[in-house]
Amino acid sequence: MLTFSRFASRQCSSVRKCARHITTDASAVRDQLRALLRDTAQPVAVVTALMDPSIPASHPHPHAHPNPSASKSKFHGATLSSFSSISMDPHPLVAFSLRIPSRMATSLTSAHSSTSLPSHMVINILSERQEATAVRFSRPDMHPEPFVGLPHTLTQEGLPVLDGSVGALSCRLVAASWPLHDLESLTEGGAGKDGKEWEGEGVASELFIAQVVRVERTLPEGEAARPLLYHRRGYVTTQPIESPNSTKPSG
């Protein structure tokens, strides 16, 4: 028994040292991950939805310009910093995260709990011609009314589809969002939305998973567009890679 106790004591000590090591290195891992992802081109998308009517009309940003028509806006949009397709079969699913608190996160949470419409939102995958649109929906302090003067159509649920996008996805949330600051809530039997609130430094985010219910047409028949990508803190697009075995046409 004494031998086991000493072994257990050493093991506990090792676990504590390991835990301290992981905690200490968390900041370094975040910095390294950010640096790596800057070198990885990411698609740029804007999620659009109906504004939650309970949200105050006045913009919460301290530098927002006063806008007397703000209370008339029924739509909201936000540029996504993370968006990905995560499944095709048996259900087409996409995922993205939103910083909290945010009006978009509040609006989507409200839509999930209160509406029976087939779609809660539209994810607009931007084209190379829409860099200004990406900025417009990422800077509410400079663009408190981003839909004003921006060409768009409406889905059958009345949600905005941005003209000129590569494509747009009408989506329905499959569940409430998951708080990414509380990993215990992501495990089986976790607390979910009843888990602990974020009280640390930095920015907290929530994960949204949605089922694609319809692909919306955004370009004329037969027309295609190259995607808008975010790479090394700037907007770029794609270009075909010339194969070393390919031959250039003569003349």
Domains and CATH numbers, the chain: 43-55+71-186+202-229 (2.30.110.10)
Which among 223, 91, 98, 213 is positioned nearest to 159, based on CA atoms?
213
User: Alpha carbon of 56 to those of 47, 63, 65, 158: distances in Å?
Assistant: 20, 16, 15, 21
**Can you tell me the distance from the alpha carbon of 180 to that of 242, in angstroms, rounded to the nearest whole number?**
41
Is the model's pLDDT at 90 over the cut of 90? yes
* Residue 69 binned pLDDT confidence (cut-offs 50, 70, 90): very low
**Can you tell me the distance from the alpha carbon of 123 to that of 162, in angstroms, rounded to the nearest whole number?**
9
**Percent of the chain at pLDDT above 90?**
45
**Can you tell me the distance from the alpha carbon of 155 to that of 216, in angstroms, rounded to the nearest whole number?**
8
- Best-predicted range by mean pLDDT among 3-7, 88-92, 102-106, 188-192? 88-92
| pTM of the predicted model as reported, rounded to 2 decimal places | 0.76
What is the token pair recorded at 66?
Answer: 């006063």
What is the token pair recorded at 139?
Answer: 């800077």
Q: For the chain, what is the mean pLDDT?
A: 80
Per-residue model confidence (pLDDT) at position 181? 79
User: Alpha carbon of 192 to those of 89, 100, 146, 206, 207: distances in Å?
Assistant: 26, 15, 33, 11, 11
Average pLDDT rounded to a whole number, residues 104-123: 90
Is 109 buried (19+), middle (13-18) or exposed (0-12) by CB count in 10 A? buried
**Can you tell me the distance from the alpha carbon of 92 to that of 250, in angstroms, rounded to the nearest whole number?**
45
